[in-house]
Amino acid sequence: MEYADRTKKMKASEIRELLKITQNPEIISFAGGLPSPHSFPVKMIEKITDSVLERHGAQALQYGPTEGLKELRELLIKRMKKKGIKCEMDEIIITTGSQQVLDLTAKIFFNVGDYLIVECPTYLGALAAFNAYQPNYIPVSMDDDGMKMDELERKLEENKNKPLDIIYTVPTFQNPSGVTMSLERRKRILKIAKKYKLIILEDDPYSELRYSGRSVPPIKSLDKDGIVIYTGTFSKILSPGFRLGWLIANKEIIKKMIIAKQGADLCTNTFVEWIAEEYLRYGLVDKQIPKIRKMYKKKRDIMLKALEKYFPKGTKWTKPDGGMFLWVTLPGHLDTKEMFQEAIKEKVAYVHGAAFCVDGKGHDSMRLNFSNAEDNKIDVGIKRLAKIIKKLMK
Amino acid sequence: MEYADRTKKMKASEIRELLKITQNPEIISFAGGLPSPHSFPVKMIEKITDSVLERHGAQALQYGPTEGLKELRELLIKRMKKKGIKCEMDEIIITTGSQQVLDLTAKIFFNVGDYLIVECPTYLGALAAFNAYQPNYIPVSMDDDGMKMDELERKLEENKNKPLDIIYTVPTFQNPSGVTMSLERRKRILKIAKKYKLIILEDDPYSELRYSGRSVPPIKSLDKDGIVIYTGTFSKILSPGFRLGWLIANKEIIKKMIIAKQGADLCTNTFVEWIAEEYLRYGLVDKQIPKIRKMYKKKRDIMLKALEKYFPKGTKWTKPDGGMFLWVTLPGHLDTKEMFQEAIKEKVAYVHGAAFCVDGKGHDSMRLNFSNAEDNKIDVGIKRLAKIIKKLMK
């Protein structure tokens, strides 16, 4: 036997190794991408699990339909409608986290060597999912309004004879940059995708976590041609441990997704589907989200204030209106990967920017997570980071 | 955009459509592969979920390690040791059901067009997982002692210059046949796999469900060369809705599996991992399994008795010592797929044998599930089936 060719592209995530180092409790870590443990409604979930088992009994423990519980999909359709996304029962399925949507999308669209557009920087987990299908990446850079549309159009024109499938984007409070794509660009990306006959994969884990500014409609809500695959998740509004997400797309795509999902894991976890159903049905989600927003807004503000206070002139950072991350770009020619060892010595951690970039850039940047660290650690951690940067700048 | 070539191989399961028909409560269905809802310890799970949330709080709801909870893996290592399988912490991971193991194995081993050995008949869900990776199947037929080793060796010799990766087997109480591979053949399959440098994928969902006869050691327990990938599941001994399984393999394979799993769903559901941990830690599993065995033994016996009583001469069926299925082969040239419409009219259902066979055989056979139907329906259902068969034989 030999391993499949694809395993050569599937490398152990550097981040994974890095995160192991940062588990030392003395280290103030801005490296991971974890929600705050305080954001999980533990007591509420205890009540819900009891209620689910009382109400549904064995049914909550049996295999469920591959497409997900009808009752949960109905409630999600209602919820999505409030975001401007209209969909029918045969246009939505429940998935094992939104991570599974990335895997299944790659599975049904990518032949070896197909091309796909990704933002630069982009979500690492998406690269992990896509790499297994051996695609070629076309990176498109970003500014404060998200993916640059002129660059996107130019690169598509240059590559129009190649097998192009997908534009992958996290348009709202992006991981890792914290940037949100402007409404104008959301309209334009749809036009561009239509012109080049591409599917947009809109990954939307963070849009419920807005702390300031006005909300921007999902790209899917503007999609008249059924060319957007939208994915949402319960990971940031209930529990990431539940591995519960959903996928909205046109009926034809959904049919193929169901077949692909059946091969991958038969169905999503029925028990947590019922828990989420109850969380939505009784409006508990709408009590919980404001609490999470308040918690994270405070953390974001502490971090932004600390950056302002400690970081040297010439450093730039994004000022996200929501989500869990911001993106810092250092002055001079500092290399954040090299700097990491210094940071660990000073007991502070981040993820170096190059890890998120398929275009070889990002060496002078880093991702900072502000949702996981305790409030009183954030200022100290940023101060430690600033000290290292200033030392290396000398 | 265009769909990936692999989607041509990924067909909607006929069984899925068929199972929808059989959801009519008037139909006595032997078609599905569901455990009995009475086999789930609902009250026990209610207590465990409360305890898990009290003891672990937010930790039970957070992302977990991709390889699975350390505590659960430790307990599984102990449990596997009792079955004769020795493994270390870096040789076991927790998965989203054992179905995910089938997908991940295919992902790390199959290039397009690679060859793999499957039993004939074989588990449908495995074909669903494998088809996405576009392999070629080499079917090997079975008798009452499992896969025929002479045929296996002959076919491997014929195909030895082709890219061969895996022998897939469900050696104990196989789905769909109910047949168990003899100890002698387990030893021989290891020798053959070693000779042809193949990996054996041992899928073992049913071995805890033994109702008669002496237990046979897992192939993995006889594996001195690290060439067996073993997968087990909580689906038949706790809850299939939890989507919780495990995978044991050599360290090198496990490393690749972890990378593949990270791309597929980041980690397994942490909450149900903790539930399973408690189910094992306090020995609750060993109280529950005898109850399930007793329940299913009764159902099997009722079905075997009814087959004896009603089915016409010349019909053959397997007499499984465990599991959830048996396999009936009809006399003459009756086609079980054609017969299905008649069965539905008579309000009884099964799955036709050809669905499980990649060699075009099985038209005269059917799979009967005995774990899901209520005891008092089994005799009536078999009587109805017998009536149809007798009618068509005239």
Distance from CA of A94 to the nearest CA of B (A): 13
Measured CA to CA, the distance from residue A213 to residue A211 in angstroms comes to 7
pLDDT at B185: 98
Task: Give B-chain residues touching A60 at CB under 8 angstroms.
Answer: 241
Mutate to test the interface with A, among B53, B61, B324 (most CBs of A within 10 A): B61
Are residues A32 and A59 part of one domain? no
Residues of chain A with Cβ-Cβ distance to B262 below 8 Å are 13, 16, 125, 128
**Chain A hits for B166, Cβ within 8 Å:** 1
Kindly state whether residues A77 and A204 are assigned to the same domain: yes
Do B141 and B159 have their domain in common?
Answer: yes
How many domains, chain A? 2
Interface list for B 160-179 with A (CB within 8 A): 163-166
Average pLDDT over residues A352-368: 95
DSSP three-state, residue B299:
helix
pLDDT at A47 over 90: yes
Do residues B297 and B208 touch, judged by C-beta distance below 8 A?
no
In three-state secondary structure terms, B106 is: helix
Q: Is A243 on the interface with B (CB under 8 A)?
A: yes
Three-state helix/strand/coil letters over A33-89: CCCCHHHCCHHHHHHHHHHHHHHHHHHHCCCCCCCCCHHHHHHHHHHHHHCCCCCCH
Task: Give yes or no: residues A16 and A55 share one domain.
Answer: no
pLDDT exceeds cutoff 90 at A210: yes
Which amino acid belongs to residue A350? Y
**Are A244 and A231 contacting, i.e. CB atoms less than 8 angstroms apart?**
no
pLDDT value of residue A368: 98
Strand partners, A368: A326
Segment A61-65 shows an average pLDDT of: 95
CATH classification of the domain holding A368: 3.90.1150.10
The answer to whether the beta carbons of residues A160 and A196 sit under 8 Å apart is yes
- pLDDT digits 0-9 by tens, A109-167: 999 999 999 999 999 999 999 999 999 999 999 999 999 999 999 999 999 999 999 99
User: In terms of domains, do A380 and A267 share one?
Assistant: no
Instruction: Report chain A residues whose CB lies below 8 A from the CB of B10.
Output: 108, 256, 259-260, 263
Could you give the CA distance from residue B394 to residue B387 in angstroms, rounded to a whole number? Answer: 11
Burial, A24: exposed, middle or buried (Cβ in 10 Å; 0-12, 13-18, 19+)? exposed
Q: In angstroms, what CA-CA distances link A378 with A24, A217, A319?
A: 16, 31, 16
CB contact under 8 A, B269 and A61: no
CA distance B60 to A110: 35
Domain boundary among B244, B267, B284: B284
Nearest to A379 by CA among A296, A316, A311: A311
- Contacts for B137 with CB less than 8 Å, ≥ 6 apart: B115, B116, B117, B118, B130, B358
pLDDT band, residue A260 (cuts 50/70/90): very high
Residue A21's pLDDT band, with cuts at 50, 70 and 90, is confident
Average pLDDT, rounded, for chain A: 96
CA B340 to chain A, closest CA, distance in angstroms equals: 23
What's the pLDDT score for residue B11?
79
| Per-residue model confidence (pLDDT) at position A287 | 96
| Other beta carbons within 10 Å of B351 | 28
Give me the DSSP letters along B34-68.
PPPGGGS-HHHHHHHHHHHHHHHGGGGTS---TT-
Sign of CA dihedral B276, A247, A78, A295: positive
Please state whether the peptide bond connecting residue B121 to the residue before it is cis, i.e. omega within 30 degrees of 0.
yes
Whether residue B149 is found in the same domain as residue B272: yes
Residues of A in contact with B20 (CB under 8 A): none
Which of A231, A258, A284 marks a domain boundary? Answer: A284
Q: How far apart are CA B223 and CA B230, in angstroms?
A: 10
The verdict on A263 and A327 lying in the same domain is no
CB pairs under 8 A between A and B: 243
Q: Is B146 on the interface with A (CB under 8 A)?
A: no
Task: List the pLDDT tens digit at each of the 394 positions of chain B.
Answer: 789 999 988 877 777 777 777 778 899 999 999 999 999 999 999 999 999 999 999 999 999 999 999 999 999 999 999 999 999 999 999 999 999 999 999 999 999 999 999 999 999 999 999 999 999 999 999 999 999 999 999 999 999 999 999 999 999 999 999 999 999 999 999 999 999 999 999 999 999 999 999 999 999 999 999 999 999 999 999 999 999 999 999 999 999 999 999 999 999 999 999 999 999 999 999 999 999 999 999 999 999 999 999 999 999 999 999 999 999 999 988 999 999 999 999 999 999 999 999 999 999 999 999 999 999 999 999 999 999 999 998 8
Task: Say yes or no: B123 and B247 in one domain.
Answer: yes
Q: Residue B24: its pLDDT value, please?
A: 84
DSSP string for residues in A303-359: HHHHHHHHSPTT-EE---SBSSEEEEE-STT--HHHHHHHHHHTTEE-EEGGGG-TT
Same domain, A270 and A374: no
Same domain, A48 and A179: yes
Distance separating alpha carbons of residues A101 and A95, to the nearest angstrom? 7
- Give A10's pLDDT tier (boundaries 50, 70, 90): confident
User: What is the DSSP code (8-state) at residue B88?
Assistant: -
| Per-residue model confidence (pLDDT) at position B101 | 98
Helices B270-281 and B284-310: angle between axes, nearest 10 degrees: 90
Structural domain span for residue A16 = 5-41+288-393
Asked if A78 and A163 sit in the same domain, the reply is: yes
Q: Tell me phi and psi for residue B291, to 5 degrees.
A: -65, -45
Predicted pLDDT at A36:
96
Clarify whether residues B26 and B145 are in a common domain: no
Task: State which of B257, B284, B311 marks the end of a domain.
Answer: B284
Note whether A288 contacts B: Cβ–Cβ < 8 A. no
| Chain A contact for B366 (CB, 8 A cutoff) | no
Which chain A residue has the Cα nearest residue B253?
A3
Residue with tokens 């791309």: B263
Asked if residues A358 and A118 have their Cβ atoms less than 8 Å apart, the reply is yes
Which one of B96, B129, B241 has the shortest CB-CB distance to A270?
Answer: B241
Asked if B63 has any chain A CB less than 8 Å from its own CB, the reply is yes
Closest CA to B166 of B103, B234, B74: B103
Q: Which residue has the tokens 């199959």?
A: B110
CATH of the domain at A88: 3.40.640.10
Rounded to two decimals, what is the model's pTM?
Answer: 0.97
- DSSP one-letter code for A187: H
Supply B45's token pair.
Answer: 């799970």
